[in-house]
Amino acid sequence: MTKKEYIKSMKVIIALNKIEDKLNKVLKELSPSFNYLSFGRHEDLIVSLIEKAVGDKYDWTSYWLYDLDCGEKAEEDTVKDKDGKPIPIKTLGNLYDLIKNDYNKFI
């Protein structure tokens, strides 16, 4: 999977998550007792396929999406290499580069 294809696919996942959040807000407004609608199984499958296609052996994609809130929670030193040097992970481009450089988790 090329960098361009990866970024495009990830942007679709992010956009679908935002739509799901909007839908839940509207449904909650219509019915205050409404809990939550989730397409989690579909998302898990798609994210898993993207990870396989890009060769993400260490689940960086899931980590970036969920733990780092699409990079929003990423700090300069969130990820470090073996020598303690920070590895950027704020953007989808950074994420792709991290995956392709085959870094193991040094968080």
User: Mean pLDDT by 10-residue block, N- to C-terminus, for the chain (107 residues)?
Assistant: 96 96 94 89 94 95 96 92 89 96 63
Tell me, yes or no, whether 29 lies in a domain.
yes
- Structure token digits, residue 43: 């998302």
- Which structural domain, as residue segments, surrounds residue 43? 3-100
Tell me, yes or no, whether 107 lies in a domain.
no
d(CA 37, CA 21): 9
- Structure token digits, residue 78: 């969130």
Tell me, yes or no, whether 11 lies in a domain.
yes
Q: Give 76's DSSP letter.
A: T
Tell me, yes or no, whether 19 lies in a domain.
yes
pLDDT at 106: 52
64-74 CB burial, b ≥16 within 10 A, e <16: bbeebebbeeb
Number of domains in the chain: 1
pLDDT at 103: 66
pLDDT at 104: 62
Tell me, yes or no, whether 106 lies in a domain.
no
pLDDT at 105: 53
Tell me, yes or no, whether 105 lies in a domain.
no
